[in-house]
Structure formats: C-alpha cells, structure tokens
C-alpha cells in the first residue's frame, strides 16, 4: 500500500515529501554539517557504508511505496533545513511507527523540529489512522530530549544498546504518544500550552543506568 505524502505547514515550517531532485541540496547540507550530525547518525553494524544521498532517497521512496515509511524534508522559510522520517510503520493490532529527524546547525533552536514532529504525528494519527508514535533518543542528546519534552511525548523506558549510531550500539531513551492522549492534536496541544508537565521526564534509576554501559561478553 503506497502512502500518500502530504505537504504540511505551520508558520515558517513546512514538511514536504523528499524528492530525488533534492539529492544535491541534501548532500550539501549533510556534508556541511558532518561534525554536527555524525554523533547522532545511524550507522551500518556490518561496516562502513558509502555516502550515496541519491541512493538513500530512492530507498526511502521505495520503502514509502511499500507502505513502511514516510520520508519528509523539513523546510524553514522555504529553505531546506533537514529531514524527518517516519519509519517502521506497522498496521493492524500494532498500528505504530517511529520518527527520526535532524536539522542543519544554522536552523537549530527555531522550533523547526518540534513543529515538524507535531505536524507529522497529527497526520499519522488523524489521516493515516496510526495509534502510536515513538521517538528514541540517545541519553546524551539534550537538544533532542527538549523536542519530546516540548511536545509531551511520554517516557517509556531505557533500551540498552538499541540502535547502531556513530559506529556502535547505543542506549536510547524511548518516548511515545498514543492518539487517545492527544485528541486535540499534538500541535494544538503544544500551541495551547496544554502539554502535561514532566511526562517526558526520565526516572533517576534510568538516568543512572544509562551512565554505565551494559557489560558485553566478547
């Protein structure tokens, strides 16, 4: 089932479907922001993979045609600012998906990402009909933790060595929303100042645990 990819806007922020012709501009942003992005980038556990922006856009679009993902560009005042990908979409009794994102350093701190996440989450809930949206973040990633705090994604737990990032398996804090929590919509709730306090807060026991790597047997 191919997924319809909408264009969604709020103020200076637009999310729109990625296109193959974005490859050149996207590659420039990715290269110019290497130092900014590398620490948080998903990597291949089976060794280095080449830098092929056109190929990865094609793979994202094929995944979307198969109904498994929704690849978006984040624009700020009409300029390409970053990417937001909905992935691992499952239907039926799970009806769930995961969100990942980045913006270039020069667009940081302008609420581009929380706005994009709110727009896309609302689309997934109220148009696609998904039930649960998840975001997983490395414990060290304070700016990204602010994104889920602002929008009131609820803390669900610590997943040890969960995603291969920047060359190794990394712990992640996981957050989620189910549609019943946000009947008014994620964007509306945030704009109305109605996000419940502390739902994204991590308990001390998980914060402490994440400070100590899981012992691994070689």
> For ligand COA, which stretch binds (CB under 6 A), given 55-63, 88-96, 101-109, 196-204?
101-109
| Site for ligand COA contains 111 (CB under 6 A) | yes
| Site for ligand COA contains 143 (CB under 6 A) | yes
| Site for ligand COA contains 114 (CB under 6 A) | yes
| Site for ligand COA contains 101 (CB under 6 A) | yes
Give me 101's structure tokens: 């994102």
Nearest to 79 by CA among 16, 31, 32, 122: 16
Give the span between the Cα atoms of 51 and 44, in whole angstroms. 12
Binding-residue total with ligand COA (CB under 6 A): 20
Give the span between the Cα atoms of 119 and 98, in whole angstroms. 14
| Ramachandran angles phi, psi of 170, nearest 5° | -120, 145
For ligand COA, the closer of residues 132 and 170 by Cβ is 170
Nearest to 197 by CA among 149, 158, 157: 149
Angle at 158 between CA 155 and CA 163, to 5 degrees: 115
Count of positions (residues) in the chain = 218
| Site for ligand COA contains 131 (CB under 6 A) | no
Please, what is the minimum distance in Å from the beta carbon of residue 64 to ligand COA? 20
Neighbours of 20 (CB within 10 A): 11
Please, what is the minimum distance in Å from the beta carbon of residue 29 to ligand COA? 11
SS3 17: strand
| Site for ligand COA contains 37 (CB under 6 A) | yes
| Site for ligand COA contains 137 (CB under 6 A) | yes
Angle at 186 between CA 85 and CA 173, to 5 degrees: 60
> For ligand COA, which stretch binds (CB under 6 A), given 43-51, 126-134, 145-153, 210-218?
145-153
For ligand COA, the closer of residues 88 and 111 by Cβ is 111
| Site for ligand COA contains 86 (CB under 6 A) | no
> For ligand COA, which stretch binds (CB under 6 A), given 95-103, 119-127, 152-160, 185-193?
95-103
Give the span between the Cα atoms of 84 and 82, in whole angstroms. 7
Binding site for ligand COA (CB under 6 A): 36-37, 40, 101-103, 108-114, 137, 141, 143-144, 146-147, 150
């Amino acid at each position: 089932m191919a997924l319809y990819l909408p264009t969604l806007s709020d103020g200076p922020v637009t999310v729109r479907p990625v296109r193959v012709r974005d490859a050149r501009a996207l590659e420039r942003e990715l290269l110019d922001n290497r130092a900014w992005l590398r620490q948080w980038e998903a990597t291949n556990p089976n060794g280095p993979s080449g830098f092929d922006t056109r190929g990865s856009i094609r793979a994202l679009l094929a995944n979307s045609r198969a109904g498994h993902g929704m690849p978006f560009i984040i624009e700020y005042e009409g300029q390409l600012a970053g990417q937001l990908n909905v992935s691992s979409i499952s239907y039926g009794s799970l009806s769930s998906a995961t969100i990942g994102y980045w913006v270039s350093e020069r667009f940081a701190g302008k609420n581009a990402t929380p706005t994009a996440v709110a727009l896309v989450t609302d689309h997934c809930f109220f148009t696609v009909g998904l039930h649960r949206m998840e975001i997983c973040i490395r414990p060290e990633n304070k700016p990204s933790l602010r994104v889920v705090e602002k929008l009131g994604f609820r803390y669900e737990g610590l997943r040890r060595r969960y995603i291969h990032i920047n060359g190794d398996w990394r712990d992640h804090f996981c957050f989620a929303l189910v549609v019943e929590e946000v009947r008014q919509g994620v964007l509306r709730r945030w704009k109305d100042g109605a996000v419940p306090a502390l739902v994204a807060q991590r308990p001390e026991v998980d914060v402490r645990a994440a400070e100590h790597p899981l012992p691994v047997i070689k």
